[in-house]
Structure 1
Amino acid sequence: MFGSEAEKEVRKIPVSESTISKRIHNMSADIEETVCTSVKESEMFPLQVDESTDIGVNRENSSVITTHCFLHREALVAKTISNDLKSVLEQVVKMVNFIKSQPLKSRLFTKLCEELEAKHLNLLLHMEAQWLSRGKVLSRGCELKEEMLTFFTLEQQEEFSDLLADDTWCAKLSYLADIFELLNKVNASMQGKSENVLSSTDKIKALKEKLQLWGGKVKEGNLDMFSHVAVAANSGEIIPIISEHLAVLENQLQHYFPDICTENYDWIRNPFFASISTQSQLTLIEEEQLVELHHDRDLKLLHMQLPLDEFWVQIKTKYPHVAKKALVMLIQFSTSYQKEGEKSSDKQLWELERLPRDPKAFGKRYLLESICPTDTPHEIYKDDPEAVSLIFVDLEESG
């Protein structure tokens, strides 16, 4: 009515605090209602929580199944090292911190690496909360130990330069780099949306047997499985240390991962090839449905096309009892991969979308949970990017 110029002036008026807080409340209530409705309609559902959550509910409800994250347990196993090896790890961290904590020294070290044509130009910081960082710090330190020796010699840091000049100390560093790299590969292999309790258990069982194999080879003087140690000077002197550490890791794995007979669940992975006569944990009606499923050629073709969990969901109507039995196992989270991924995505989202100019970016916070509010804010505030940004920040701060 007053023209486009007046409209622009009106748009400059900031949105009131009550409007913003009401919007946040309505969106939160909408998501809560969506989740509650979905839970009530489901026969069973998984819930993934972090380590700060009390899971004592399983003591009050026997039907609740709890599993400890495989990644957490594997990380606890990796922390078990002798005092001798632990001191090497701590010394490496001190060296890295000496360089990385001071911008000038960090730049000088980078310049030195460039001049020496090193494979890498920087060291990596160790973060206790990030399980894989320990192995990466050690590997990078092992690969740049010559450059570090030169740098600390120039800096007159005799404490560090003497260690790096010691072949036995460097052999221990090489072993730590190798073993943590191998443990990190197992850890990384258990991360992914398609991972389940059965597949993660397989990988842990394989690691147990590898540790036994490596222990036997080390006693024979064979260090080929550890690439850095195999070429390190004085590696023979640390064979007793390596042998002892491998034995400790094997015992810790047994402690944190009690034996699970995954062979009893082969019918879940492939109901068309598993032996039905050995499935003693199934009831009669479950066995009958498994027999029918075993001879269903149409579903055999479907099994080859779908992910395992989706396959069992698809046939739940036709074979409800045996499908439920399978889904009870598959629905469990074997790791906190998604929860950790959500935290990482939150951080990236905050950094990249602090002031989103695309209204569609607003819904991302909820899409991290695969739940989108029924009425998203940009439908109302789409013409005011600053208002959208303000609500976005409030949502991030409110968690």
Structure 2
Amino acid sequence: TSKNTLQYNKSKDDILSAIGDVQLGANTVARRMTALSEDAMTQLDSDIKRCKWYSIQCDESVDSSDTAQLAVFIRMVFEDFSTKEEFLALLPLKTTTRGVDIYNAVKTYFVKKNIPFEKLVSITTDGAPAMIGRHSGFIAHCKNDPDFPKILNYHCIIHQQAMCSKVLDFDHIMGPVVRIINSIRAKAKQHRSFKLFLEECAAEYGDLLLHTDVRWLSRGKILQRFLSLLGEIKTFMESRGEDTTLLSNTEWLLDLAFLTDVTDKINQLNIQLQGKDKSVSDMISAVRAFNAKLSLYLQQMRDQKFQHFPSVSTMCETHAEPASLNVSKYCDLLARLEREFCDRFGDFEKVEPCVTFVANPFMCVDITDLSAQMADVFCVDPTETEIEIINMQNNVHLKSQQQSSHFWSLVEPDSYKNLNQVALKMSALFGSTYLCESAFSDMNIIKSKFRTKLTDEHLSDCIRVNLSGYTPQYTSLVSSMQCQASH
């Protein structure tokens, strides 16, 4: 802060040296964090008032003091089609975490901050019943509230552990894998011996990953590491006189290999949608491609072609004959996974034609059907929209600009009022709840087990300062400071 404020001062070095000698108390640091957080919030308030439309993503997790925290992020789109994604709030849920509790917390915050409900386009959540329950979930309460406009809602594939545990019922694999890992890592001496053993064997990896029962992403990595070190693990356990019968069981080994391959594919899909500025078109494209891949995997599994299942292929070559592979069981699991994806993301069918048109407005479309879908999803006038689509697709100037990444900012909003609104609302949609996931990682660092006394307000301030994309207005912040806060 000081460096930026004094960058043009001739005595900058002397002043910075003097500032460096000033001792800041704990309360001073807390006040400075609060001031920085308020400054970022002031800039965010200004952008919310200025934006055309916005969407939010919500997710809930528990901090180190067992307080449920609801993270809320906002994605805003402006008149020039530029977008911003920002941390909006961290709302503590002190008692229960039912849908009504989440709804009350969000609405109370919106009313308190004067956030305009009418600009809200969509809400992205995880797939928990408290969020998407048909009658008592958070989304259901929002849709039943007349203060909320008609909104889109969809849940994110980053939260796929519920789907995986429902479809891929492989507790007989994860249970023994976790038990073996924990037995090796439980005692320091045994863990050191195992790492030394791996080093002597020149193994591919130097250690096993510790299991965390939080995300399937971690399970996939654990299974891959376990499978890569299977031979070394078996030899090490035998040297200690432990039972390794299961590690020689052909059926169990094939199930392990199959689960490793499938979780790896789901994790790849997951990783595709991590990071900032992921749009809903990215999410739909990834999900549709994964559905098509599942169809391919299913057909090839039926034909016992394992080029997309490297772990299964290797296991058949080294530990089992292909004839011992229960193909029908794995085909059934893949078919169930495919159906689950279709059911889970069936809501995309309603918005997908609109997404496709915004991405490629000069494609051949059924104008009547598309206009009706736009009216249903984005509340535009279907009759006017039909004429606007015809005018746009026959506009020579716009056709010459169709490859531009800024195409929609070149479209005259007065001439294409409804299509402009559809494109703007589409730009406001989130592609995942990754930002919430990332915020919870920061929360666990900021409010660690050694800082459980950190208040909810200070935790929110710290996360906002850490995640905010706004540059602090240092000059105004400095001018508002008092030497003695008590005066």
TM-score by length of 2: 0.64
- Identify if the C-alpha distance between structure 1 residues 317 and 93 changes in structure 2 by more than 3 Å, giving closer, same or farther: same
Q: CA deviation at 1:24?
A: 4.0
Show the counterpart of 2:83: none
Match of 1:229 among 309, 312, 331: 312
| Letter matched to residue 470 of structure 2 | I
- Identify if the C-alpha distance between structure 1 residues 103 and 317 changes in structure 2 by more than 3 Å, giving closer, same or farther: farther
Q: CA deviation at 1:298?
A: 5.4
Residues 76-105 of structure 1: CA deviation (Å, up to 9, x unaligned): 32222465x321111111111222333332
Q: Determine if contact 1:68/1:334 at 8 Å carries over to the other structure.
A: no
Match of 1:250 among 327, 338, 345: 338
Q: Determine if contact 2:446/2:462 at 8 Å carries over to the other structure.
A: no
Question: What is the CA–CA distance in structure 2 between the aligned matches of 1:36 and 1:10, rounded to whole Å?
Answer: 33
Question: What is the CA–CA distance in structure 2 between the aligned matches of 1:10 and 1:163, rounded to whole Å?
Answer: 62
Match of 1:118 among 203, 214, 223: 203
Q: Determine if contact 1:67/1:334 at 8 Å carries over to the other structure.
A: no
For the pair 1:58 / 2:157, whether they are aligned, the reply is no
Residues 22-72 of structure 1: CA deviation (Å, up to 9, x unaligned): 444443333333322322222311112213443433321233332212322
Show the counterpart of 2:363: 273
Show the counterpart of 1:288: 387
Residues 239-289 of structure 1: CA deviation (Å, up to 9, x unaligned): 233122212212322332225332454211111334363523252333333
Q: Determine if contact 2:442/2:463 at 8 Å carries over to the other structure.
A: no
How many residue pairs get aligned? The number is: 361
Q: CA deviation at 1:115?
A: 1.6
Q: Determine if contact 1:289/1:322 at 8 Å carries over to the other structure.
A: yes
| Letter matched to residue 468 of structure 2 | E
Q: Determine if contact 1:218/1:239 at 8 Å carries over to the other structure.
A: yes
| Letter matched to residue 425 of structure 2 | V
Q: Determine if contact 2:298/2:334 at 8 Å carries over to the other structure.
A: yes
Q: Determine if contact 1:267/1:274 at 8 Å carries over to the other structure.
A: no
Residues 103-127 of structure 1: CA deviation (Å, up to 9, x unaligned): 3322222222222121111111222
Secondary structure of the residue that 1:49 maps to in structure 2?
A: strand
Secondary structure of the residue that 1:266 maps to in structure 2?
A: helix
For the pair 1:334 / 2:431, whether they are aligned, the reply is yes
- Identify if the C-alpha distance between structure 1 residues 9 and 96 changes in structure 2 by more than 3 Å, giving closer, same or farther: closer
Match of 2:327 among 239, 242, 266: 239
Match of 1:37 among 14, 23, 46: 46
| Letter matched to residue 358 of structure 2 | I
Question: What is the CA–CA distance in structure 1 between the aligned matches of 2:325 and 2:258, rounded to whole Å?
Answer: 12
Residues 169-201 of structure 1: CA deviation (Å, up to 9, x unaligned): 211111111111111111112224343223322
Show the counterpart of 1:80: 166
Match of 1:322 among 419, 425, 436: 419
| Letter matched to residue 248 of structure 1 | R
For the pair 1:99 / 2:108, whether they are aligned, the reply is no
- Identify if the C-alpha distance between structure 1 residues 239 and 294 changes in structure 2 by more than 3 Å, giving closer, same or farther: same
- Identify if the C-alpha distance between structure 1 residues 26 and 248 changes in structure 2 by more than 3 Å, giving closer, same or farther: same
Show the counterpart of 1:166: 249
TM-score by length of 1: 0.77
> Which shifted more, 38-47 or 134-143?
38-47
Q: Which residues of 2 match residues 300-319 of structure 1 at below 5 A?
A: 303-306=402-405, 311-313=407-409, 315=411, 317=413, 319=416
Question: What is the CA–CA distance in structure 1 between the aligned matches of 2:344 and 2:475, rounded to whole Å?
Answer: 44
> Which shifted more, 24-33 or 94-103?
24-33
Question: What is the CA–CA distance in structure 2 between the aligned matches of 1:96 and 1:10, rounded to whole Å?
Answer: 48
Q: Determine if contact 1:80/1:249 at 8 Å carries over to the other structure.
A: no
Match of 2:270 among 183, 187, 190: 187
Secondary structure of the residue that 2:211 maps to in structure 1?
A: coil
Show the counterpart of 2:456: none
Show the counterpart of 1:374: 473
- Identify if the C-alpha distance between structure 1 residues 138 and 341 changes in structure 2 by more than 3 Å, giving closer, same or farther: same
> Which shifted more, 333-342 or 179-188?
333-342
Q: CA deviation at 1:134?
A: 1.0
- Identify if the C-alpha distance between structure 1 residues 276 and 255 changes in structure 2 by more than 3 Å, giving closer, same or farther: closer
RMSD: 3.7
For the pair 1:208 / 2:296, whether they are aligned, the reply is no
Structure 2 gaps, min length 5: 1-13, 61-69, 71-101, 104-137, 375-381, 449-460, 480-487
Q: CA deviation at 1:337?
A: 1.4
Question: What is the CA–CA distance in structure 1 between the aligned matches of 2:29 and 2:445, rounded to whole Å?
Answer: 24
Residues 108-167 of structure 1: CA deviation (Å, up to 9, x unaligned): 222222221211111112222233111111111111100110111112221xx2211222
- Identify if the C-alpha distance between structure 1 residues 325 and 16 changes in structure 2 by more than 3 Å, giving closer, same or farther: closer
- Identify if the C-alpha distance between structure 1 residues 43 and 94 changes in structure 2 by more than 3 Å, giving closer, same or farther: same
The structure in which a higher percent of residues are helix is: 1
Q: CA deviation at 1:378?
A: 9.0
Secondary structure of the residue that 2:332 maps to in structure 1?
A: helix
| Letter matched to residue 69 of structure 1 | C
Residues 196-239 of structure 1: CA deviation (Å, up to 9, x unaligned): 22332232233233333333333333333211112323353332
The structure in which a higher percent of residues are strand is: 2
Q: Determine if contact 1:125/1:133 at 8 Å carries over to the other structure.
A: no
- Identify if the C-alpha distance between structure 1 residues 103 and 254 changes in structure 2 by more than 3 Å, giving closer, same or farther: same
Question: What is the CA–CA distance in structure 2 between the aligned matches of 1:300 and 1:111, rounded to whole Å?
Answer: 66
